Structure 1
């Protein structure tokens, strides 16, 4: 009996259509530690600015939530792709691994591993790929809190959550519509995050720091390149 190649053919056509609809800007892969909070936030940015899903791919880590697992999964997903998720092999110019400091033991290892991969991988166009860790100390919620307050001293993640709920009542991990809620204050948060970055880095734990502003700025400026 002849094999039914219809599913494979449909998958091939889907990939071709997706490739045809890519925009002219860099293809970006974002792999996150969280399975809801960060994916919801970045998905909302992607939808708000109508960025092509073929160019901006969001995927929670499937290896685990330790920072090194996030970095390893980002590398693996870039190299091998994932047919079930319609992610092609080496189909990106930029790869970002998003994770928190928290109390993760592999945090520094993850930062170093990401740095060692930057510019070393090659994509399907034989170009060197930007590979970056997007870390937050102590957590992603620091970025959200910076929309409402200047944070200059070390702060525990529980205190970040407590203060954030004072500005966004009912906020919980995995909440939706957070970009819509904070969008009018993104410029303020970006200035504060950049000011922190002039004094601290992802390595100066427990000093407050977040690189989320870098990724948000990149995504929100892509609308001008479509």
Structure 2
């Protein structure tokens, strides 16, 4: 009898090989508003900490509005994307990363992510963690916290101006940022945690970033 070489059978074998290479920690999907800055940063963490690409998937959203980021993360979880090698329901944890900026759908995105948390099931019939990872005003606040203790509202343009004093030539989409900031990761973590004790993601315009939670997760997965 000849071998079954149908597309479905090839897909099944490919999935089986991929699963055999998976590490024993959770499969995590990170979807970001930014198309370069955040994917590069989290990709650099994945490389630095030798996390399996089969366990940690980082994708930019197809839309930049916060609600679109959450919706796309939801769609990738439920439907997957075979063109990107993402199988349906192939994650235990999903994170939607977006900025406050002046987005009209910011608070809707927070609410939508909260409504999805724990209500979806993955391919192992397990409940999926689904979290928003917002920053007020922007992702760059997290980077600035490596150098300055920001405790009052600050406009995103001011964040960028001050950050460029510490990281010469910094621009959106810059590479190598995790390596540059890594020596000060502990102090940035403490500062972000201090902000979280004072403010929440809903206390606009007070400074806040949940990036610290995702970074802490990724840097301790193998611990």
TM-score by length of 2: 0.95
Mapped partners of 1:44, 1:154: distance in 2 = 29
Matched residue, 2:178: 179
Q: Secondary structure at the match of 1:160?
A: helix
Matched residue, 1:46: 46
Mapped partners of 2:110, 2:88: distance in 1 = 23
Matched residue, 2:66: 67
Matched residue, 1:163: 162
CA deviation digits over 1:152-196, x for unaligned, max 9? 110000000000000000000000000000001011000000000
Return the offset for 1:223: 2.3
Q: Secondary structure at the match of 1:154?
A: coil
Matched residue, 1:77: 76
Verify the 8 A CA contact 1:77 1:89 in the aligned structure 2: yes
Mapped partners of 2:85, 2:58: distance in 1 = 12
Distance 1:145 1:14, change over 3 A: same
Mapped partners of 1:10, 1:122: distance in 2 = 25
Matched residue, 1:222: 221
CA deviation digits over 1:22-47, x for unaligned, max 9? 11111100000011000000000000
CA deviation digits over 1:82-132, x for unaligned, max 9? 111111110111000000000000000000000000000011111111000
**Where in structure 1 are there 5+ consecutive unaligned residues?**
none
**RMSD (CA atoms):** 1.3
Say how many residue pairs are matched: 220
Matched residue, 1:15: 15
Matched residue, 2:113: 114
Mapped partners of 1:143, 1:36: distance in 2 = 16
Mapped partners of 1:128, 1:121: distance in 2 = 6
Matched residue, 1:33: 33
Verify the 8 A CA contact 1:15 1:86 in the aligned structure 2: no
Q: Secondary structure at the match of 1:223?
A: coil
CA deviation digits over 1:32-78, x for unaligned, max 9? 0011000000000000111010100011112x100000000000110
TM-score by length of 1: 0.94
Return the offset for 1:222: 1.0
Return the offset for 1:9: 5.3
Verify the 8 A CA contact 1:91 1:124 in the aligned structure 2: yes
1:204 and 2:198 are equivalent in the alignment: no
Verify the 8 A CA contact 2:25 2:222 in the aligned structure 1: no
